[in-house]
Amino acid sequence: MKNFDVIQMGDSCTLYRGNAMEILPTLPHGSVDAVATDPPYSSGGMFRSDRALKTNAKYSLTGTVKQYAEFSGDNRDQRAWLLWMSLWLDMAYRVAKPSSPLYMFTDWRQLPTATDAIQVGGWLWRGIVPWNKTEAQRPQRGWFRAQCEYVLTATRGALPKEQDRESEVYIPGFYTCGVIASEKFHQTGKPVSLMEFLLSNVPAGGTVLDPFMGSATTGIAAMRTGRKFIGIEIDEENFAVARHRIEKDLFTTGTPT
């Protein structure tokens, strides 16, 4: 019995509302050119009680006025998170084409475990691209600012042969961009320009998969740069935001569907 919904938006975008663990096994083997995603970190604190807090309490600064929809799956302990991550990463590996890249966000707390999960899932670990959110973020009196998040990079096997790569551009190993309030529609939403940067070496016309699409920033970036998108989101309120945002962007920009 199918426990998820599918919405096809033209030829360039397919959205699934449901659990990625149920939906990923239904996608065709070797059907996507990249996986770019921001899974729940199950972070936001050093102790179990911290992880059990609601996501707005964990990821909003004190005094923040704007509130976002809560999101699920963010309260696993370290062992459960490693197991869960390894399972869906293995499923995503099956769906990816040979040499496809994986771009996955994490924070400093989960960085070591996330690198283990990538390799348990079968991916070839390639390194880290820091996202410098600038000095406006996360000051800590007497200590270093927690102003970076990290994009873990991997591939499904070897990198594409040099002669098969479409771009001869050497891509920088980090990205600097502050959080853009006008582009943030999810508690942990990322800037569109950051996602466009990460997708710069995905083949033109290729398909990008995001198993945890949130407010669909990855989808916006993919379609604006001439790529197709498959997005999965379990939370109904965030799915509605993602759908509305993609529909609005398609109408405003005239991105072909």
pLDDT digits (tens, 9 = 90+) for 200-249: 999 999 999 999 999 899 999 999 999 999 999 999 999 999 999 999 88
Nearest CA among 204, 196, 201 for reference residue 180: 196
Please say whether the beta carbons of 150 and 131 come within 8 A: yes
Q: What is the distance of C-alpha 44 from the center of its chain?
A: 17
What is the overall mean pLDDT for the chain? 86
CB 151 within 8 A of CB 103: yes
What three-state secondary structure class fits 190? coil
pTM of the model: 0.85
154 and 101 Cβ atoms separated by less than 8 Å: yes
Q: Which helix (H) or strand (E) holds 91?
A: helix 78-95
Tokens of 234: 């379990």
- Taking only the tens place, the pLDDT of each residue in 182-210 is 777 656 679 999 999 999 999 999 999 99
Domain 5-253 in CATH 3.40.50.150? The answer is yes
